[in-house]
Structures are given as C-alpha cells and as structure tokens.
Amino acid sequence: MTIPPAEKIALAAADLCLQRGLGSVTMRSVAAAAHVAPSAVVYHFATREKLLLAVLDRLAVQVCAAAEELRDAPDDICTALADAASFVSAVLPPLINAQGQAIVAIDELGLALASGDEADASRARMEQFHRKCRDFWTTLPHVSREDTLAREIWAAVAQGMIPLVMLDRNPISRNVEVIRLAHRLSIRLAGGQAMLVGDEAADDRAGRDDAADISRPKGKQQIVDATIRLSGVLGVDGLTHRKIAAEAGLSVASTTYFYPTKQDMVIDAARELQARAINAVVQAADAKAGILSRIMLDQAGERRADLAALGAFSNAAVRSGGLGELATTFRRLRGATAVHWLRSLGFAEVDRLDGLLWAMATVALGNQAFTLPRHERAPYLDATSHAWLERLFA
C-alpha cells in the first residue's frame, strides 16, 4: 500500500521524536529519514511547528488506540475477580511498555508548541488527548463504579504514574511500584488506615538537604542558567555546547572548560533545578501557603520556567540510559518533597508512598490546567487540589 507523502513524512518525524528526542526533529532530518527532499517537507508542513503538530496528532492516536486494546483484553472471569487497584495495576505495565515513550513525547510536544504560532491548535489537541486519557481510566471496570471524585483521582494518578515509574528501567521493581501505589491509593480513597512505611525524619530531611545552595564560579553559573533556559524550549536533546555558549554570552571554549561533555552540563543544571524546585516547595510549606498555583505558575499564569525545564530533564532521563544517576535522583526526590509539603499542611499520617501519589496526581492536574485559558488555571489548580487533598489525606 502506498503511503501518502504527508503521512510518510509525519511517520518519519514521529519515529525520530521517539528514538532520538524532540530536538532531533528538524525539517532537514525528517526529510532524510523519510527519503524525500527538504522542499517536500516544507511543501506539506510549511514550518517545523506544523510538522510537530502532525507528530502530536499521530502519537495521540497511537496511544489512544493501544489503550483501547488493553481495555478490551480482560475476560468476564478476570473482571469478576478484580477490583480498581488490580485493574489499574494490570493495565499500566503493558501500556508503559508499549506507549510510555510516546506519552512522554506528547507532553514534550505540548510544551514545545505552547508559546508558538500553533499554540492554540496545540492546546486544543492536548486538551482532547488528556480528556481521552481521563475517559479511558475512569471507565475501566471497577474504577467506573467509584464516585466522581474518586474516578478523577484514579485517572490523574494513573496517568501521572507513567513518566515517574519510567525513570526505573528495571521492569520488576517498576511493576512492584505500580502495584504498591495502586493499592495505597485504593486504601486512601476508601478512607482506610494505611500502614505507613519509611522514616519520617529522613523523609523530611530529604526534602531540605537537597535544597542547599550550590555555589559555582560566575562563568559556570552562567552556563548552568543558559542550559536551564534552553532546555525548557529545545528539550535536552536540542542542547549543544555552541547553543549554550551563545545563550550564556560566553565562548565555546569556556563551556568545554567547565563542562567537557554535554552530559556534565545536563547533570549540573539538573542539580540546580532540583534545588530550585525543592526550595519553592519548602518555602511554600514553611509559609503555610497550601496553594498549588503558587508552586506551579508564574505571575503571568504560565508554567514556571524552572518546572518546564525540570520536566525536560526528567523526560531526558526517561529516554536516555546514560542519565541513570539523574533518573534515580528524580525518583527519590519526587516523593520526599511532596510528603514534606503534605506534612506542612497538617496531614501528619503520610509517608513517601503518599508523597509519590500526590506528586503523580499533580502531574496530571498541571497538564489539565495548562490546557485552560491563563486566567482559569490558578482557580482550577487550587480548588481541585484542595478537594483531592481532603479526600485522600484528611
């Protein structure tokens, strides 16, 4: 069967995005991958943003189709013996194995397109994709029997779990984490008493110790700041010594002197981002500012630049086996900072599992908020997070 040229180009672009990251998707690289002239890519898509929008559409259709196949897999006997936690635990691992990279790429694409000429079209596509994801999780057998608020939380945690558990490349420990988190969520939603795990003092220290200031020479700090700024726009894959040097106002020789490899820059910039993100959470907790929008939004109602860059680094750690140390750090800190914030709000009987649940819920909550007009984002985040907190931990 002959594939239409536009579809052939979009397929090549999607494959490049999944294999090498968003930064690798250029008009020229896609032309080479699709075995067409660069002028053909321009003819069908005009701009890189239009091409990325086509990739977003293709990946969203792919993910939703795979999810529907999983919904139809269990037979009547399996359904009769299951509950919400077991169904979610059974569906998530094969979905992650088959479409996890695509789901992460979709979020990267939505972020990359959020401020360009295709921002409105991208926001509409992302809203549609997140709605389909919510519909999938909320209509799973047994989840569908929960009340409305519980269904929303199940959907948010399940979807938010995907990028977090993908940081673990060991399939056995990853599946164990999915099962434990789904079981804990089931207990919390039912109002049951959870058996807490871990050391409360150590959990709190983890949130504060890693927030210590990192001192660097001026030139080195300029490079780190430039790396952070560019990563939120280009993604980690699009970073080069030359681009970072230009952004920092330094020579390429200066960047290679401080950071011989790109990975060195990425790891140090990620440490800086982690410190900033943790400080934001700790400061909000210390001020008893239990308002999620203060952590997630800037004054203009947009996603805080630090969080956008942190997401780019986390996605890179998911995709690249060479960033294993960074992936481990992200996994450890996500639960620690969230549980510290929960305790500051007066939810004393919580542990790292609860912190991870809340971190995952807020991933999906944030994604949904950023599909809304700017003036609606803060009210949505604060009202919804308050209702969810009360349901889960009060």
- The CA-CA-CA angle for residues 283, 285, 289, to 5°, reads 95
- Return d(Cα 111, Cα 218) in angstroms, integer: 30
With cut-offs at 50, 70 and 90, classify the pLDDT of residue 132: very high
Longest CA pairwise span in the chain (Å): 66
User: What single letter denotes the amino acid at residue 192?
Assistant: G
**In contact, 266 and 236? CB cutoff 8 Å:** yes
pLDDT in tens, 298-346: 888 888 777 777 777 787 788 776 677 777 777 777 777 788 788 888 8
* Average pLDDT of the residues in 186-193: 91
Q: Which of 355, 360, 387, 365 is closest to 194 using CA atoms?
A: 355
pLDDT bucket at 239, cuts 50 / 70 / 90: confident
The Cα 285–Cα 338 span in angstroms is 10
List of residues 6+ apart from 28 with CB closer than 8 A: 38
Token pair in block for residue 92: 């998530």
pLDDT band (50, 70, 90) for residue 289: low
Under the banding of pLDDT at 50, 70 and 90, the label for residue 215 is confident
Residue 180 structure tokens: 């434990």
Handedness of CA 383, 389, 392, 394 (dihedral sign): negative
| Mean pLDDT, residues 91-114 | 90
Report the C-alpha gap between 130 and 53 in whole angstroms. Answer: 16
> What is residue 322's predicted lDDT score, i.e. its pLDDT?
66
**Are 229 and 309 contacting, i.e. CB atoms less than 8 angstroms apart?**
yes
Q: What percent of the chain has pLDDT over 70?
A: 90
Query: What is 197-250 written as a DSSP string?
Result: -S-HHHHHHHHHHTTS-----HHHHHHHHHHHHHHHHH-GGG--HHHHHHHHTS
Quote the CA–CA distance of 112 and 131 in Å, as a whole number.
20
- Structure confidence at residue 377 (pLDDT): 93
Mean pLDDT value across residues 255-284: 78
- Of 188, 165, 4, 15, nearest in space to 92 by CA: 165
Sorting pLDDT into bands at 50, 70 and 90, what band is 282? low
Ramachandran area for residue 113 (φ above 0: left; ψ -120 to 50: alpha; else beta): alpha
Averaged pLDDT for residues 275-285:
65
> What is the rounded distance in angstroms from the CA atom of residue 367 to the CA atom of residue 60?
15
Is the domain spanning 200-350 CATH 3.40.50.970? The answer is no
Can you give the pLDDT at residue 207?
46
Listed range (117-131, 248-262, 272-286, 325-339) with the worst mean pLDDT = 272-286
Taking CA atoms, 11 is separated from 52, 75, 104, in Å, by 11, 34, 17
Query: Domain segments of the chain: what residues?
Result: 69-197+351-394, 200-350
pLDDT in tens, 137-176: 999 989 999 999 999 999 999 999 998 888 888 889 999 9
Structure tokens at 256: 């290679």
- pLDDT score of 258: 92
pLDDT for residue 61 is more than 90 = yes
Higher pLDDT, 276 or 379: 379
User: Residues 286, 290, 291, 294: what is their CA dihedral angle, to the nearest 10 degrees?
Assistant: 10
pLDDT at residue 348, rounded to an integer: 87
The secondary structure element, H or E, covering residue 83 is none
The single-letter DSSP state of residue 4 is: P
Looking at residues 338-360, what average pLDDT do you find? 88
Reported pTM: 0.85
What is the reported pLDDT for 248? 92
- Rounded Cα gap, residues 247 and 278, in angstroms: 25
Mean pLDDT of the chain: 85
Alpha-carbon span 4 to 277, nearest angstrom: 45
Tell me: pLDDT of 76 over 70: yes
H or E element at residue 264: helix 262-286
Average pLDDT over residues 54-75: 90
Q: Over the stretch 9-28, which tens digit does the pLDDT of each residue have? A: 999 999 999 888 887 889 99
C-alpha–C-alpha distance, residues 144 and 78, integer Å: 16
- Poorest-pLDDT segment among 108-112, 331-335, 351-355, 383-387: 331-335
Write the pLDDT tens digit of every residue in 374-387: 899 999 999 999 99
Among residues 184, 70, 165, the alpha carbon closest in space to that of 360 is found at 165
**pLDDT, tens only, 27-49:** 999 999 999 999 999 999 999 99
Q: Percentage of residues in the chain with pLDDT exceeding 90?
A: 47
The pLDDT value given to residue 161: 92
Cα 298 from Cα 209, distance rounded (Å): 25
Taking the C-alpha atoms of residue 35 and residue 250, their distance in angstroms, rounded to an integer, is 38
Specify whether the CB–CB gap between 357 and 385 falls below 8 A.
Answer: no
Angle (deg, nearest 10), helices 374-393 and 148-165:
100
